[in-house]
Amino acid sequence: MEDIYFYHSFGLGKDNDHGLKVLNLIFRHGILLTVEPQRFLATRSLSENTFVQKRACFTAIPARELAAFAKGFGPFVLEFDGQALREFGVLPVAYTAGWMPGGALLDSAGSLLGRQWLESYYVMAELVHLVKNGNAQEKAVAEKIWNAAGRATLAPEELQFSLEALMNLCYPSDEFGTGEFGYFKEREWRIVPNLALAGGSWLYPAPNADQTKELRELDADFFEKIIRGKPQVEQCAFLRDIGGHNVVERARRIIVPPEAIGKAKELAAVHKYDPDRVVLGNLPEFSG
């Protein structure tokens, strides 16, 4: 059985200088989690709603599929062993059956579940709000619900964050325009900002003022885009280290276009990443 690796790509539609700037940013600050609004369709009892997902995306494929994958996602690629990335909390996308036309019977079950999961998250968030900020009567009712069935030792926020993680992972298997199973075929995994080591510090800091300026200068169109009333850059987060382990250092290889190989190796050396692990994207092993 052939090995599967996890690939995080960038630089699609940009020149090599842009890709090298992103690589330099990743070396210095970590992998960037960005946001994207995800629609959840109406059901008989719930209206359509949108959840802004925050995540860093990876695709789990054999190396021989990388060349084709990079054409759609970008020619600069971080390659990880699965176990290395699992230690940083990567999880498979929770695919639900999508929005293909012409479905009947239980074809809409996936979109129904997704919308109900979102509503469950909102209900849990409201319960947490009442426990923490409600008036005396509201707090008494919320705490009675929460303390039932032995939940008194569980912080309400834990369930809220677990449902938030689910919503950050939830994605349709396909939709209009993708073809059947169009998204499912991408075999996507994600790092989402809802996990932490017990007693540890927050793992997903927002960009500071200098980092925010750098991101805006890197790609103003992308980072200034307004999503739910706020620019993308104000909703991003970095993941750099967990328990003293640096996520970029754990990359198996960094794969770049031939024209960028020299400068990419120089960057790697500056950041104490083995330059021999920076390789050409046109190697035969990447095209099967």
pLDDT band at 11 (very low <50, low <70, confident <90, very high): very high
Is the confidence at residue 188, as pLDDT, over 90? yes
Most confident region among 4-13, 38-47, 144-153 by mean pLDDT: 4-13
**Ramachandran bin of 243, using left for φ above 0, alpha for ψ from -120 to 50, beta for the remaining angles:** left
Segment 230-249 mean pLDDT: 95
pLDDT digits (tens, 9 = 90+) for 39-62: 998 989 999 999 999 999 999 999
Say what the pTM is: 0.92
pLDDT digits (tens, 9 = 90+) for 57-94: 999 999 999 999 999 999 999 999 999 999 999 999 99
Give the domain ranges of the chain: 1-44+51-89+195-288, 97-178
Per-residue burial over 81-120, b if 16 or more Cβ lie within 10 Å, else e, is eeebbeebbbbebbbbbbbbeeeeeeebebbbbbbebbee
Q: Give me the chain's average pLDDT, please.
A: 93
